[in-house]
Structure 1
Amino acid sequence: MRKFSSYGPIDTDSHYHVPRTELIDLAETQVRGENPAKGGHYITIWSPRQAGKTWIMQNVLWRMQKDERFDVLKINLEHLKQEQEVDSIVQTIAQEIIDDLGLAHPTVQRLKEFSNIFKQDVLHKPLILILDEFDALVPDAISGIAGVFRNIHIKRCDQGHLPTGERDYLLHGVALIGVRAVLGVENVTGSPFNIQRSVHIPNLTFDEVESMFQWYERESGQRVEPEVIAQVFYETQGQPGLVSWFGELLAETYNKHNPAITLRDFEIVHSAALNILPNNNILNIISKAKQEPYRSLVLDMFQTTEKLPFRYDDPATNFLYMNGVVAQESVDETTHYLKFPAPFVQKRLFNYFSNELFRYVGRLYQPFESLEDTITDDSLHIPNLLRRYERYLQENRHWLLKDAPRRTDLRIYEAVYHFNLYMYLARFLQSHRGQVFPEFPTGNGKIDLIIRYVGQMYGLEVKSYQNAFAYREALGQAAQYGKQLKLDEITLVFFVEAIDAASRTQYEAVYHDAETGVTVRPVFVATG
């Protein structure tokens, strides 16, 4: 029986997978050329980690190796990521080409000799070269090798009237997998890699994710509830590595071998994946997100006042996008915003920054202080809990926010208060056997906290106050979210620097939404 696998390229005989035939066809056509006799293309194959780049190009390799018109090589470069000397890197790559193709000559010792290996009197036939993990190389090597390819590309174009096998250089096609720098964002000298011919590896669709679990059902005889598949897709947004990881956890690690994998089973797996299990994909995302100058953009993305525009040529956006930390949201044909790529990724980042900034939150209340106005054995009073939090924040902000990250205008990032509220609630509820969970329905501009206590669920939508118009709009949005959660009442939490008594009375008035039937209770938290 097959297994789910999230570790490296999949084995189609051993692992559940999606054929992705159209994508393989596209990549093959792009690198070999629409009319191979006239030459191929120099392209890039790119996507964040664990999206299936290597597997796609393995399939392209196996197909093209059956075409006797070409020699086809795929070389993995990850083992050279620690090598700093460009000439040493080039020498290693050249030697592998020589060995794999059985070439008698030449010997390549330096970058300027690298092009010699692709000459007509050296190669036996036109060569299609696939370089995996190309962006693992040091920048000078990326730039230098791309420059060699550029020179060969231009010379082959100058001889475009000749068949591909009769030109001075026989480097018919090149595919660079996993690249970022050669796309022209950081390479000021230009690049032969026309990004219109680049192949982006997209996430899986819902139907593709569903097909993998249906395949598992047929082979195992164990049913997977449709809600489980829906949740896997929602949390991962079809990111192949994460889909397969959740599949592995559900089908193997946490499988109780009941007749069906249920939503409760998913909740157990989801909690473990969020809190106790390592995942190389997620660890890589966190390692990129916590670096400056990228950290500032990530923190800004947790704000609720406005969405940030997506601009590919912004270096921070480009770096985070290519490393799977952020994605693009297109609301129409001309409007594009930044968003996190999946709720699960956003939750892991939210947890990371919350713990980094507020691992210690201090004393929440005095040892013998009565909490009866806030929590009892069978109920939780959310407005009073938020009043307690407001007092706690104002009394402790002098040390609590002393080293908090700040924007260029020296104001504390909005997200910092959200992290602190979350950690406060988690600590408060922990001693009463309650739990709080962050939810991110949109990937940008919206943060919700779900509290579970003695069998009851409470919903909090967290905002920063802007103006009266945004306030009224938020009331309606909160009511819709309450309806989605099947709650009769939801709390709308507004952070604001200061609020006078009259404004608090006016703006904390309970709102009853006629359309949804949901009651919205606004509560303002003054940050001081």
Structure 2
Amino acid sequence: MKLFCSYGPVDCKAHFCVQRKALIATGVQQLMGSPEEKSGHYFTIWAPRQTGKTWLMRRIKQEILQQYSDEFTVLNFSFGALRGMSSPEKSTDFPPALSRLIQKSLPKKPFVKNWDDFSQLFSKTEGLWDRPLILLIDEVDTLPLDLIDLMVAQFRELYLERETNLLHGLALVGVRAILGIESKRGSPFNIQRSLQVPNLTQEEVKELYRQYQAESGQLIEATVVKQIYHTTKGQPGLVSWFGELLTEKYNPGADQTLDEKAWKLVWHFARTREPNNTLLNIIAKARDSDYQGFLTTLFTTSNIPFFFHQPKHNYLYLHGIIEPTLETLPNGETQDVCRFTSPFVQQCLYDALSQEIIGTETPILALEPLDELTEVFGEASLNLPALLTKYKEYLARLKAQDINPWQEQPRRKTDLKLTEAVGQFHLFSWLIDAVGRRCIVSPEFPTGNGKVDLHLRCGNQRGIIEVKSFVNSYQIQLDRKQAADYAKSLGVESVTIALFIPVLEETVLEKLSTVKVVNGVEVSVVAIGWV
């Protein structure tokens, strides 16, 4: 029986797969070119980790061999074995490790001692081939950047002198460096011709799980497949990884339908106990001090414009952490803004960064030893303003012991004020410690627009806290309306806003703390001082 495969290239004979014929055809057309051009293109195939780049490269090769085997030679190999290789001492030197790989991978086992020898490999008169060559090289990003510069410069010269060589079409496969972003020379190729491997569509995800059901005979509820697509946004590696977890490791039994209960268990374990190389790589990059501040801001800011040429943006984009989303601004103009690539990535980064920034242990007890939270849980509905008052008391006890929870936390560069995400992470951590044994406390990302709500589910009681930073009194009015609209869409009668403000005067905090009914929803604002 076939299986889901989340690591390494998919083999359609052994794994559930979709053919992606249009994508393959595009790659073939790029390499072959049109009759009028008399040559193929030199271009890049790029995408984040575990998205099917190598699979696509191999399928393109197969397709060309099926259609043009008598006219072209097709060769593919990988630079993966050169991972960790150091740059040559002189820019003109040809690395011995690369020479050995070429000798191993190419016909006639040529010995290449310099860049002239490298170019001569493709010569019409002195080269290795007797017909036009289609060349595909995988894992190009493993080479040092300056070596990539040197190599692709040679390919560019070959492209400009096509009448003297047999290199008809070239595809370099990788994540980021092949686009020339970090090179002072830029890309030697036309980036517009680069081929990005897109995520799976919703129909393609449905097809994968349809294949499983047809072959195994085990039913999967349609809502589960829909959740998998929504959670991953169709990222191929994650779609198949959830397939592995759901149909193999946490499969309740072949005679049982894979339902919402099974899915929720898999979703939980995927976040907490199951290792995934792609996710671990994303989290490691997010923890980098160069990017952590930006990502924490993204949790609470909905209008950060996306620009491919901005170093942080393109780094996080090309590594599968953020993506541009086109939105219409209040003035009617459209603009690309930064968004996390999927709810799953967003959730896992929230978990990781909240622990990274705040930690997992509180320096003192979250509640007074005898506090049973009667005023919070004593009525039919949760009293979240009372719960936030307990949080304010906790902050006061920290201050009394000369403990500053905001020390060395990320601050905005413009005015050195604490970022909204810090308050959100800190409150989330405190809630887990204070009521985590009797409530499920979970961050929710309702719209993907830089908005995070903290949901509490305590038996039959349910509540929502929206975390905001004080801007001005007018903004509070907008925040109330937004919170009311969101609560109403969920059928919830009340919502609480935790408003962090860089003021400690209790009289100011009391005036800002209000309860108003907006569109039939009770909106409570609890002002929390921080500096």
Deviation of residue 26 (structure 1)? Answer: 0.6
Q: What SS does structure 2 have at the residue aligned with 1:30?
A: helix
Deviation of residue 88 (structure 1)? Answer: 8.6
Deviation of residue 359 (structure 1)? Answer: 2.0
Verify the 8 A CA contact 2:439 2:458 in the aligned structure 1: yes
Go from structure 1 to structure 2 and tell me whether the alpha carbon gap of 1:352 and 1:220 turns closer, same or farther (over 3 Å shift): same
Go from structure 1 to structure 2 and tell me whether the alpha carbon gap of 1:504 and 1:387 turns closer, same or farther (over 3 Å shift): same
Say if 2:443 is the partner of 1:457.
Answer: no
2:517 aligns with one of 509, 512, 515: 512
Say if 2:527 is the partner of 1:524.
Answer: yes
CA–CA distance in 1 between the matches of 2:378 and 2:35?
75
Deviation of residue 183 (structure 1)? Answer: 1.9
1:150 aligns with one of 145, 156, 159: 156
Go from structure 1 to structure 2 and tell me whether the alpha carbon gap of 1:10 and 1:130 turns closer, same or farther (over 3 Å shift): same
Letter in 2 for 1:301: L
Deviation of residue 227 (structure 1)? Answer: 1.8
Deviates more, 1:95-104 or 1:188-197: 95-104
Q: What SS does structure 1 have at the residue aligned with 2:141?
A: helix
Q: What SS does structure 1 have at the residue aligned with 2:468?
A: strand
| 2:405 corresponds to | 400
Say if 2:123 is the partner of 1:119.
Answer: yes
Deviations 1:143-198 (A, max 9, x none): 11111112212222xxxxxxxxxx21211111111142232322222433111110
Deviation of residue 98 (structure 1)? Answer: 4.8
CA–CA distance in 1 between the matches of 2:267 and 2:146?
42
Letter in 2 for 1:203: N
Verify the 8 A CA contact 1:32 1:173 in the aligned structure 2: yes
Deviation of residue 437 (structure 1)? Answer: 0.8
TM-score if structure 1 supplies the norm length?
0.91
Deviates more, 1:277-286 or 1:260-269: 260-269
| 1:447 corresponds to | 452
| 1:6 corresponds to | 6
Verify the 8 A CA contact 2:181 2:187 in the aligned structure 1: no
Deviates more, 1:85-94 or 1:256-265: 85-94
Go from structure 1 to structure 2 and tell me whether the alpha carbon gap of 1:22 and 1:394 turns closer, same or farther (over 3 Å shift): farther
Q: What SS does structure 2 have at the residue aligned with 1:410?
A: coil
Say if 2:223 is the partner of 1:227.
Answer: yes
1:59-78 alignment, distance < 5 Å: 59-66=59-66, 67=68, 68-78=70-80
Deviation of residue 249 (structure 1)? Answer: 1.2
CA–CA distance in 2 between the matches of 1:221 and 1:140?
53
CA–CA distance in 1 between the matches of 2:324 and 2:378?
44
Q: What SS does structure 2 have at the residue aligned with 1:450?
A: strand
Verify the 8 A CA contact 1:341 1:443 in the aligned structure 2: no
Q: What SS does structure 1 have at the residue aligned with 2:393?
A: helix
Q: What SS does structure 2 have at the residue aligned with 1:44?
A: strand
Letter in 2 for 1:141: L
Letter in 2 for 1:345: V
Deviation of residue 89 (structure 1)? Answer: 7.4
TM-score if structure 2 supplies the norm length?
0.90
| 1:160 corresponds to | none
Q: What SS does structure 1 have at the residue aligned with 2:198?
A: coil
Say if 2:348 is the partner of 1:343.
Answer: no
Gaps of 5+ in 2: none
Q: What SS does structure 1 have at the residue aligned with 2:121?
A: helix
Letter in 2 for 1:75: F
Letter in 2 for 1:396: L
Deviation of residue 113 (structure 1)? Answer: 3.1
1:470 aligns with one of 451, 472, 475: 475
Deviations 1:42-81 (A, max 9, x none): 1111111111111111100111233222211111112211
Q: What SS does structure 2 have at the residue aligned with 1:173?
A: strand
| 1:268 corresponds to | 265
CA–CA distance in 2 between the matches of 1:270 and 1:389?
30
Q: What SS does structure 1 have at the residue aligned with 2:170?
A: strand
| 1:286 corresponds to | 283
| 2:191 corresponds to | 195
Go from structure 1 to structure 2 and tell me whether the alpha carbon gap of 1:92 and 1:169 turns closer, same or farther (over 3 Å shift): farther
CA–CA distance in 2 between the matches of 1:123 and 1:226?
54
Go from structure 1 to structure 2 and tell me whether the alpha carbon gap of 1:213 and 1:485 turns closer, same or farther (over 3 Å shift): farther
Deviates more, 1:242-251 or 1:215-224: 215-224
Say if 2:88 is the partner of 1:83.
Answer: no
1:37-436 alignment, distance < 5 Å: 38-66=38-66, 67=68, 68-86=70-88, 91-103=96-108, 105=110, 107-120=111-124, 121-124=126-129, 125-156=131-162, 167-257=163-253, 258-304=255-301, 306-332=302-328, 334-357=334-357, 358-362=359-363, 363-375=365-377, 380-396=382-398, 398-408=403-413, 409-430=415-436, 432-436=437-441
CA–CA distance in 1 between the matches of 2:524 and 2:411?
30
Q: How many aligned positions are there?
A: 513
Letter in 2 for 1:300: T
CA–CA distance in 2 between the matches of 1:178 and 1:238?
20
Deviations 1:329-359 (A, max 9, x none): 1115840111111111111111111112222
Q: What SS does structure 2 have at the residue aligned with 1:422?
A: helix
CA–CA distance in 2 between the matches of 1:17 and 1:512?
52
Q: What SS does structure 2 have at the residue aligned with 1:399?
A: coil
Deviations 1:485-507 (A, max 9, x none): 33222222222222766765665
Deviations 1:281-338 (A, max 9, x none): 110001111113222222221234x521111111111111111111111115840111
CA–CA distance in 1 between the matches of 2:368 and 2:455?
26
CA–CA distance in 1 between the matches of 2:517 and 2:139?
56
Between the aligned residues of both structures, percent identity stands at 37
CA–CA distance in 1 between the matches of 2:94 and 2:440?
52
